[in-house]
């Protein structure tokens, strides 16, 4: 059974960088049929896909237009983890952040969620 | 980005009712549509993928149909555990978007 365990801070100051990590168990991070995603949820924006990283002979990343230029998602193959970095934070970035695995276009396993508040 | 519109936003129903939720895409997405159930304080749970494929372990009272731009999620006989919020989600051209959600409440 695939499990995703998130870690990272819940409070970040405006203009700073959010860093979250998602540890994978029960699946290989370099699997050729899956990808590793970050999704967030807030009352104002609903569920919003942020981006993903995946391995297809080499590593790739895709990012949502809404956060492109501020986001980096990267794998750590030695620890079977992947991470999210989102910089230049504003209060609009407040919400619950989830990591998730995608397979055939759907998100079949999710992390437990991290409530992130952007406030001074 | 492709926009996903769900209807209704809220649905009041009783145990045993047949419930249908509709999701419309702003352009054709073939069958790249998934449905999720979310309860308060929890991550969404995948119910249906590729429009009509039932995820392993999901009760057979849940079913999905549609292709192109119009899709439905049906719960054949609503159970107490089914009162929750349901979301559709599309995948197209390296982009994923979700509907705004349908809350299923007890009537």
The string of pLDDT tens digits covering residues A82-103 is: 999 999 999 999 999 999 999 8
CB contact under 8 Å between B46 and A107, yes or no, is: yes
| Mean of all residue pLDDT scores within chain A | 96
> From CA B25, how far away is CA B54, in angstroms rounded?
21
Residue B22 in this model has a pLDDT that exceeds 90: yes
Mean pLDDT of the region A36-58: 96
Residue B37 in this model has a pLDDT that exceeds 90: yes
Q: Say how many C-beta atoms besides its own lie within 10 A of residue B7's C-beta.
A: 13
For A52-71, write each residue's pLDDT tens digit.
999 999 999 999 999 999 99
Would you state the pLDDT for residue B23?
98
Would you state the pLDDT for residue A56?
94
Per-residue pLDDT band at B93 (split at 50, 70, 90)? confident
Token duo for residue A86:
């989102």
> From CA B19, how far away is CA B7, in angstroms rounded?
12
> From CA A38, how far away is CA A99, in angstroms rounded?
5
Mean pLDDT of the region B12-32: 97
DSSP state of B61: T
CB-CB contact of B78 with B16 (8 Å): yes
Among chain A residues, the shortest Cα distance to B98 is held by A47
CB-CB contact of A113 with A7 (8 Å): no
Would you state the pLDDT for residue B14?
96
Residue B1 in this model has a pLDDT that exceeds 90: no
Would you state the pLDDT for residue B94?
84
Which residues of A touch chain B, with CB atoms under 8 Å apart?
A: 37, 46-49, 62, 64-65, 98, 100, 102, 104-108, 110-113
Q: What stretch of H or E contains B75?
A: strand B70-75
For B44-70, write each residue's pLDDT tens digit.
999 999 999 999 999 999 999 999 999
For B70-81, write each residue's pLDDT tens digit.
999 999 999 999
Contact with chain A for residue B46, Cβ under 8 A: yes
More confident residue, B27 or B93: B27
Would you state the pLDDT for residue B92?
85
């Amino acid at each position: 059974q695939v499990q995703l365990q998130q870690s990272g801070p819940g409070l970040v100051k405006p203009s700073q960088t959010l860093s979250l990590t998602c540890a994978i168990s029960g699946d290989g991070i370099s699997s050729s049929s899956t990808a590793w995603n970050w999704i967030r949820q807030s009352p104002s924006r609903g569920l919003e896909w942020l981006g993903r990283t995946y391995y297809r002979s080499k590593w790739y990343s895709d990012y949502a237009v809404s956060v492109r230029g501020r986001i980096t998602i990267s794998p750590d193959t030695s620890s079977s983890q992947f991470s999210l970095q989102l910089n230049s934070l504003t209060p609009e970035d407040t919400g619950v952040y989830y990591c998730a695995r995608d397979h055939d276009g759907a998100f079949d396993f999710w992390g437990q969620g991290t409530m992130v508040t952007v406030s001074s | 980005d492709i926009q996903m519109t769900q209807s209704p936003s809220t649905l009041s129903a009783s145990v045993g009712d047949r419930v249908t939720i509709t999701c419309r895409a702003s352009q054709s997405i073939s069958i790249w549509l998934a449905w999720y159930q979310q309860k308060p304080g929890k991550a969404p749970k995948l119910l249906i993928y590729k429009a009509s494929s039932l995820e392993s372990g999901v009760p057979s009272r849940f079913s999905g149909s549609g292709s192109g731009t119009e899709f439905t999620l049906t719960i054949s006989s609503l159970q107490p555990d089914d009162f929750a919020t349901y979301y559709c989600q599309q995948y197209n051209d390296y982009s994923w978007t979700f509907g705004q959600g349908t809350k299923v409440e007890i009537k």
